[in-house]
Structure 1
Amino acid sequence: MNPLVCARCGARVDPSGAAEAALTCVTCGHRQPFRRLPLYCVTGPSGTGKSAVGRLLVDALADRFVVLEQDVLWTAGLRDPTDEHRRFRTTWLRMAGMIQQSGRPVVLCGTVVPPELEPLPERALFSDIHYLALTCEPDTLAARLRARPAWRQWDEPRIAEMLDYAAWVSDTAHRMSPPMTLLDTTDGTVADTASRVTAWIDHRHG
Structure 2
Amino acid sequence: ALLDQSQPFQKNGAIALLFGAFYLLSRYATHCTWVTSEAYSSPSIVLAARGAHGNRVIFDDYREAYFWLRQNTPQDAKVMSWWDYGYQITAMGNRTVIVDNNTWNNTHIATVGRAMSSYEDEAIEIIRSLDVDYVLVVFGGVTGYSSDDINKFLWMVRIGGGVFPVIKEPDYLVNGEYRVDKGAAPKMLNCLMYKLCYYRFGEMMTEYGKPPG
- TM-score with structure 1 setting the length: 0.27
Higher RCO (CA < 8 A, seq sep 6+): 1
Larger fraction in strand: 1
Larger fraction in helix: 2
